[in-house]
Structures are given as structure tokens and as C-alpha cells.
Structure 1
């Protein structure tokens, strides 16, 4: 039984660490794209929404946009980005920012370093709280008498 009680927080810790790595990685990608200086005109090819949750959980809707642009060296790049403005529709022309080594990681979000830092910090703060709770639970289980 004690092993099971240790596996649950270990699994939670693994998920939190994975999520933190993804959040930090995407934040760095956006900062690099914004600071690279490379821009291109992109066309919004498609806009769609996905939903998750339901039942006992709250339903969450995520808006996606698919963009296509041509890099400075002539390659055609298509990418999907989440959480764009709901007013953007198919056929709109937008400015995208990208890095020369990874243009498929482009972003159509306008540069907003402080907003990016705040969002990343808040997300990491919430993940840190969950991590501390899992570690605290682990300590309590380990301190139980056999």
C-alpha cells in the first residue's frame, strides 16, 4: 500500500516537471523568434477550435490558427499556433516572426516580453505549488509508521 501511495506523487511530479519543461521551452522559442529580427507575411489558412474537459470538469476551448509563409530563403512553412485572436479568420494576412534555424516554430503573436514573462511565471508558480504538495504528501507517507 505504501508503494502505491508513493507512486501517485511520483507520477504527479513527473507530469509537473514535463509541463514545466514544455512551458519554459515555448517561452524561449517565442522570445527567440521575437528577437531574431526575421519577419514574413503569412496567410491564415484555417481557424478551428478544440475542446477538452466536460462531465465533472470544466470545458476548455482552445482556438487554433494555421498559417503559411515563405522564409527569406524561399522555403514554404506551415505551422499551427494556439490562443490567437478570435477576430482572425481564414485569408487574413499577418506578420510572423521566426528564427532562421527553426522557422516551423514561428509565432504570429506580437512581441510582448513582459506578458510572456508574467504568463510563464504564473504557470511555473502553479506548477511549483503542485510540486510542493506532491513532495509534502511523499514526506507524510514516508514518515508513517510501518
Structure 2
């Protein structure tokens, strides 16, 4: 029974980490495509706010800037969306350039195109997830060696 736990938990973690890698790549492709092929519109910042996380014990506090934007698509629809990580210099009432895909205007972005930064961020995330997956695989291999050695020692 204990043997099953040492195989199941890392396999579930590998599945979750693999799914996180999939989501990371999908997000990067969507943003890159929006920057390259998307339409542009003038948008307006309706609201700016920050959120904080961390700070427990010795952990550092992480502050994220969020913006709520609104724009009108070329076909006349008004779209409102929230975006994290935008520049702190954009304040309520400011006008910004919004990029969006016609089939998904709700997934618009007001972030200025930065393909290099997107690639580096995605690459670093994938390296981190790859190391975590490698650790899980190593754990499974070591657990397998321990359990097979223990089984061979039993009378």
C-alpha cells in the first residue's frame, strides 16, 4: 500500500505540472498571436488596483498591478477586460492601444508587444516545470529501486 503512494503522488504531480506547462505555452502562443495578427483599438483604463500575496513569516510580499480596460471592437461591440501585470504608469482614465483577436475580443491585451520578454518568461517557466518533473521522475526511480531491493531481501 505504501508502495502505491510513492508511485501515485509523483505521477499525479507530473500530470499537474505537464498541464501547467501546456497552459503556459498556450497563453504565450495566444498573446504572441494577438500581438502579431490582432486588430487594434483605442481603449480606456476604467480602473487600476493592486493585489498583494505572500508575506507570511520570512516570505517576501509580491504586489501585482491590475487594470480594467474597455474598448469597442470594429463591429461595434463594447468589451471590458481585466489584465494583470500592466505598467503602473497607466492610470484610471488613460487611453491605451488594445490588441485583440476578432474571434476572442474578451482576451484582449493592452500590454505593448514584447516578443523577447514573452519568450524568456515562458522559457523560464518551462525550465522550472521541467526541473520539477525531472525531480518527480527521479523520486519514482529511487522509490522503485528501494522497493525492489526491499522485496529481494525478504525471505
Would you say same fold, with TM above 0.5?
yes
Asked if 1 retains the 8 angstrom alpha-carbon contact of 2:38 and 2:102, the reply is no
What's the secondary structure of 1:13's corresponding residue?
helix
Instruction: Give the 3-state SS of the residue equivalent to 1:50 in structure 2.
Output: strand
RMSD (CA atoms) = 1.5
Counterpart for residue 58 of structure 1: 60
- Number of matched pairs: 146
TM-score, structure 2 normalization: 0.87
Work out whether residues 66 and 85 of structure 2, in 8 Å CA contact, stay in contact via their aligned partners in 1.
yes
> In the alignment, which residue of structure 2 is the partner of 1:24?
25
- Structure 2 residue aligned with 1:89, among 88, 91, 101? 91
In 1, are the aligned partners of 2:67 and 2:84 still within 8 Å (CA)?
yes
* Corresponding residue for residue 36 of structure 2: 35
Gaps of 5+ in 1: none
Q: How far has the Cα of 1:141 moved from its partner?
A: 1.0
Normalised to the residue count of structure 1, the TM-score between the two structures is 0.91
CA distance in 2, matches of 1:7, 1:61: 36
SS in 2 for 1:106: strand
Determine the C-alpha separation between the residues in 1 that align with 2:10 and 2:53: 24
Change (3 A) 1:7 1:61: farther
Q: In structure 2, how many angstroms separate the alpha carbons of the residues matched to 1:32 and 1:5? A: 41
1:9 and 1:17 map into 2 onto residues whose CA distance is 12
Which structure's CA Rg is the greater one? 2
Quick one: distance in 1 between partners of 2:38 and 2:103?
A: 13
- CA distance in structure 2 between the partners assigned to 1:5 and 1:48 by the alignment: 43
Runs of 4+ in 1 over 6 A off after TM superposition: none
